[in-house]
DNA sequence: CCGAAATAGTCAGTGCCCTGATTAATTGAG
DNA sequence: CTCAATTAATCAGGGCACTGACTATTTCGG
């Protein structure tokens, strides 16, 4: 019997975590706007006029996915897209008034949801939760892009 | 400036974690068989002859998703599906020889991948990592199915 | 036995997510 | 200046994931 216990597989856990989050987001934040869509709105509140590629970089989405998410936000009229006059390859993105209002409304709800989501953990544990996940995710991404010696400390190469 | 730091949003972290896992799985385990597909194969090694619904329960997939995953595994001839003679609603699932071999081969690679994935954490941290994620995910699922009072402690309603 | 409730699976529809190929615009080397 | 490399975005294609509506079968009350 060579079957493995899925509970020892980080991928399984990661998937379950995201499912759990999806569930709670739908129940407590919005059934219309998804979490990745909110991330895009949020990025554009912080830095209005970004282009698609950079938005993707900020929220951790590849070029194709970000294009889809953005097209949905445009369809809902939360976002506008105009050709960059300085560089005709780019589109500059900007929230509509409705987009700004939506981001504001959801930010409050998202914060509440996060509290509920993390409620089973103590304060210290919540810190550890973020720290551990971030370290694992960063390391895996690092394997992807091996380059980028962050200046100074050249670790072999 | 009402923008929020995404790094304080568990949903964002959860998504990044899964992306990281996806990446490493593709690089180190298989480009053909995905992690959810492997989970299904694995469940059927442990319990041959399960029906779709139960497989979904074991691996944490809803009925629709599990149906899709299974149909792909059947197309690849890793799996067979036969009507249950005892209960005509059900289909019984069973791995083909190729399915068994595939599960065996990938189990080894998946274990190696998990080690690499978790390498940035110490042994204790790895334990904490699993524990924290599992607790958060379980709690959120619990909110979903409010029933099942585990005996005793009736917390208000 | 019969019809209602429950259960297993399918289907349609929406959205996320990635890769590889392609198109359009810009930049940079000769 | 001109052509090649680079870059931003799109498109085609495959897979995961959920909901709600529907079909077929079984089960259970009367």
A5-39 pLDDT, tens digit per residue, is: 998 999 999 999 999 999 999 999 999 999 999 99
The predicted structure's pLDDT at residue A117: 96
CA of B90 to C1' of D23 (A): 13
pLDDT band at A146 (very low <50, low <70, confident <90, very high): low
pLDDT of the residue at B122: 96
Query: Which strand (E) or helix (H) includes residue A53?
Result: helix A52-59
Domain boundary assignment for chain A = 10-144
Architecture of domain A10-144: Orthogonal Bundle (1.10)
CA-CA-CA-CA dihedral for B18, B23, B27, B29, to nearest 10 = 20
Q: What percent of chain A has pLDDT over 70?
A: 91
Pick the CATH number of B24-143 from 1.10.10.10, 3.30.56.10, 1.10.760.10, 1.10.1740.10: 1.10.10.10
What is the mean pLDDT of the segment spanning A119-131?
A: 96
Cβ atoms < 10 Å from Cβ of B22: 16
Of A residues 54-83, those with CB within 7 angstroms of nucleic strand D are 54, 63-64, 67, 70
What is the per-residue pLDDT across B4-30, written as a single tens digit (0 to 9) for each? Answer: 899 999 999 999 999 999 999 999 999
Q: Which residue is nearest to nucleotide C27 (CA to C1')?
A: A87
pTM above 0.95, yes or no: no
CA-wise closest residue to A86 among A138, A124, A38, A51: A51
φ and ψ at A140, to 5 degrees?
A: -65, -40
pLDDT per residue over B139-154, tens digit each? 998 877 654 433 333 3
B124: nearest CA partner in chain A? A132
Within chain B, which residues score under 70 in pLDDT?
Answer: 1, 145-157
**A contact test, residue of B14, B39, B101 with most A CBs within 10 A:** B14
The closest CB to that of A140, out of B1, B13, B23, belongs to: B23
Q: What is the pLDDT of residue A1?
A: 62
Residue B38 dihedral angles phi and psi, to the nearest 5°:
-60, -40
B34 near A153, Cβ under 8 Å? no
DSSP E strand boundaries for chain A:
79-83, 91-95
For residue A36, say whether its CB is under 7 Å from any atom of strand C.
yes
User: Does residue A91 carry a pLDDT above 70?
Assistant: yes
Mutate to test the interface with A, among B9, B23, B33, B105 (most CBs of A within 10 A): B9
* Mean pLDDT (chain A, rounded): 90
């Amino acid at each position: 019997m060579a079957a493995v216990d899925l509970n020892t597989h980080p991928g399984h856990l990661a998937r379950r975590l995201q499912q759990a989050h999806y569930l709670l987001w739908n129940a407590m934040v919005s059934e219309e706007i998804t979490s990745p869509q909110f991330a895009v709105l949020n990025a554009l509140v912080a830095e209005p006029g970004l282009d698609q590629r950079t938005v993707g970089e900020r929220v951790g989405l590849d070029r194709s996915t970000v294009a889809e998410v953005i097209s949905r936000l445009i369809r809902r009229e939360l976002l506008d897209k105009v050709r960059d006059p300085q560089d005709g390859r780019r589109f500059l993105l900007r929230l509509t008034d409705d987009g700004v209002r939506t981001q504001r409304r959801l930010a409050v709800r998202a914060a509440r949801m996060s509290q509920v989501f993390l409620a089973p953990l103590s304060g210290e544990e919540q810190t550890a939760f973020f720290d551990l996940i971030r370290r694992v995710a960063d390391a895996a991404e690092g394997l992807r892009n091996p380059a980028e010696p962050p200046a100074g400390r050249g670790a072999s190469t």
